[in-house]
Amino acid sequence: MTQAPKQNGYAAEYRRSLEDPEGFWLDAARAVDWTVAPTRALDASEAPLYRWFPDGRLNTCHNALDRHVDAGRGEQLALVYDSPVTDRKTAFTYRELRDEVARFAGVLAGLGVAQGDRVVIYMPMIPEAVVAMLACARFGAVHSVVFGGFAARELAVRIDDARPKLVVAASCGIEPARVVPYKPLLDDALALAEHQPEHCVIRQRPQCAAEMTGRDLDWDRAMATAEPVGCVPVAATDPLYILYTSGTTGRPKGVVRDNGGHAVALRWSLENVYDTHPGEVFWAASDVGWVVGHSYIVYAPLLTGCTTVLYEGKPVGTPDAGALWRVIAEHRVTALFTAPTAIRAVKKEDPRGELLHAHDIGSLRHLFLAGERLDPETYHWATDLLGVPVVDNWWQTETGWPIVANPMGLEPHPLKAGSPTVPMPGYDVRILDATGRDAPPGADGAVAIRLPLPPGTLLTVWQDDARYVRSYLSAYSGHYLTGDGGRKDDDGYVYVMGRIDDVINVAGHRLSTGAMEEVLAAHPDVAECAVVGVTDPLKGQVPRGLVVLKAGLDRDPRDIATELVAAVRDTIGPVAALRRVDVVAALPKTRSGKILRRTMRDIADGRDTELPSTIDDPAVIEALRPVLRDDL
């Protein structure tokens, strides 16, 4: 397999990526199999909307599966499924996975799904989820995976936006303490949605049988009669998938990923950032419903010819507190990628790391952590325990691969606790002050990226270019706004300190406080409300709700608070993890009526921030102080 030769270290490669993006990315593109090789890298003709490899044609599924079979890797393991919650383990060679995918592509095509049609996938961490994603890619259908921890309304919103021809789902997901029936959630979502797919293909699981209705088809039966379908080349700029992510409002944004730029960038990142090579075993302990799952459970390891581990269950806690180490040892994992919260959970249960001694994790070369800020304490604990580099990397659903990382495969950099290290090729990362000028080293500002973004990043928001421009490109001319705040030090290391908008990260899951506020505000007894993300020792952040009730109610406020917690769980899903709502007399505001969420968050986190000069009535915040400071 061709991988473009690495001639230089990081500094030269990075410089070249900004000064000569054509040369840099056309070289990187040589690692991908094209049916028509691109002659150009960047198409800026519709700036600020950019396209990569405009004249290239390829098939992502071919690159992920068939090319490895053709190259003699057919008997190598492509995917290992390890599911302690069902007590099952299975594995697929590249040949087996290709055959499954080709057959499921036949199911989709037989049901009338054509190139460009959307397919919503609502599945837990089972191999069929990966099969369904790659089957879409096989003939240019566009998948949109919805995370299983979301409730019916969130699924309905995504169905109405993506307008899928078909939905692929499973009868249930399995959480350590309970079976979660997915099919009733899907049925409820379709009752709420305006758009109706023609069919639903349901993977029945033994733990819970789904009731089938007229448009539902059974996965196994459909597969039994399907004809395998080959790979259909598409334009590099055609969409591969839509992945919805939380923004500042309740309406999620459909991040659109292309085929060509995505394949090139992910291929580059796995070797150069994650130092993982063909034949090695990569384990991203995340979920296919999140971007980490898309990029580093499914696409990057398979595009590279690695073995990927698909793990169903929590990698910590029940049923096996030492599961992380057991999986690494059993499958000879060379790189583990998870969120800091998972390591904090391990540390909480096994502070001295004694469970590690039962397993030989000698295969592990790196632990990569992303999804939320890596706090120095967790970093030091994991480094001391594992004796391998613990590598932070910062990115987001929109970018699909690291913006700032330590390029372990290209040129490892000295690690600095609290920093994900340096910008990756093509990302011209700037720290901007309030006026839009570059902030000096050491000064905090908004983290922005000068346009264009590199290949693999979002093309736009699904069917809404105007929203893409408004949400990401308008705050600072010529820049993409990441939504994070941070700074650079004198060595160019970037420190990402947290979101400057209403997005919060709960156990590595990205959630919108705005969406939770919408649910609270819809309660008939609520006059106004706010949701703020406060620091939590395990999950990084957790949401807290504060509500002011309508005057003259004759109800116990505690009952209303309980209803509000249940409403968020029912409407957004258990993953929202809103466990506490306080009824208060008033919310602090500016004189122009804006709720001072950040001030409340700072007080709840124990920071002694000065009250803003624009505050309307300081007595309101003083009255709230004891509530906010109360331990969770």
Q: Which of 108, 236, 607, 434 is nearest to 598 (CA)?
A: 607
* Alpha-carbon torsion, ordered 400, 124, 364, 261, to 10 deg: -20
CB distance 54 to 43 below 8 Å: yes
584 makes contact with ligand COA (CB under 6 A): no
Binds ligand COA by CB under 6 A, chosen from 515, 575, 596, 624: 575
Taking contact as CB under 6 A, which single stretch among the options 67-75, 277-285, 388-396, 453-461 is the one that binds ligand AMP?
388-396
Q: Count residues binding ligand COA (CB under 6 A).
A: 27
Tell me how far apart the alpha carbons of residues 6 and 409 are, in angstroms, rounded to a whole number: 10
Stretch that binds ligand COA, among 152-160, 282-290, 489-497, 589-597 (CB under 6 A): 282-290
Half-sphere exposure of 359 (CA within 13 A, CB side): 22
Q: Which residues contact 226 (CB under 8 A, 6 or more apart)?
A: 103, 104, 106, 107, 110
Residue from 314, 510, 539, 544 that binds ligand AMP (CB under 6 A)?
510
- Considering the rule CB under 6 A, would residue 394 count as an interface residue with ligand AMP? yes
Taking CA atoms, 347 is separated from 322, 363, 381, in Å, by 11, 21, 8
Contact track, ligand COA, 308-327, x by CB under 6 A:
------xxxx----------
User: Which entry of ligand AMP, ligand COA, none binds 392, CB below 5 to 8 A by partner kind?
Assistant: ligand AMP
420 near ligand AMP, rule: CB under 6 A = yes
Return the structure tokens found at 170.
């499973």
Mind giving me the DSSP string for 488-504? Answer: E-TT--EEEEEESSSEE
- Minimum CB separation of residue 511 from ligand AMP in Å reads 9
Instruction: Detail the DSSP E strand segments found in 407-536.
Output: 422-423, 428-432, 445-450, 479-488, 494-499, 503-506, 509-512, 526-536
Site for ligand AMP in 569-628 (CB under 6 A): none
DSSP 611: P
Contacts of ligand COA in 170-209 (CB under 6 A) = 173, 175, 180
Q: Smallest distance, Å, CB 520 to ligand AMP?
A: 23
Which 3 state secondary structure label does DSSP give 555?
coil
Candidate list 405, 408, 577, 603; residue touching ligand COA; CB under 6 A: 577
Q: Taking the CB of residue 313, how many other CB atoms lie within 10 A of it?
A: 22
**String of DSSP letters for 3-53:** -----S-HHHHHHHHHH-HHHHHHHHGGGS--SB--S-SEEEEETTEEEES
CB nearer to ligand AMP: pick between 315 and 402: 402
State both tokens at 615.
Answer: 């505050």
- The separation between the first and the last C-alpha atoms of the chain, rounded to the nearest angstrom, is 53
The region of 218-226, 437-445, 556-564, 571-579 touching ligand COA under the rule CB under 6 A is 571-579
Residue 295 interacts with ligand AMP (CB under 6 A): yes or no: no
Between the CA atoms of 62, 64, 70 and 71, what dihedral angle is there, to the nearest 10 degrees?
140
Contact stretch for ligand AMP (CB under 6 A) within 135-143, 478-486, 607-615, 623-631: 478-486
Q: Which of 184, 353, 389, 574 binds ligand COA (CB under 6 A)?
A: 574
Residue 48 engages ligand COA in binding (rule: CB under 6 A): no
- Interface residue with ligand AMP among 144, 397, 421, 571 (CB under 6 A) is 397
Residues near ligand COA (CB under 6 A): 124, 148-149, 173, 175, 180, 286-287, 290, 292, 314-317, 338-339, 341-342, 345, 371, 506-509, 574-575, 577
Residues near ligand AMP (CB under 6 A): 245, 290-291, 370-374, 392-394, 396-397, 420, 482-484, 496, 499, 505, 510
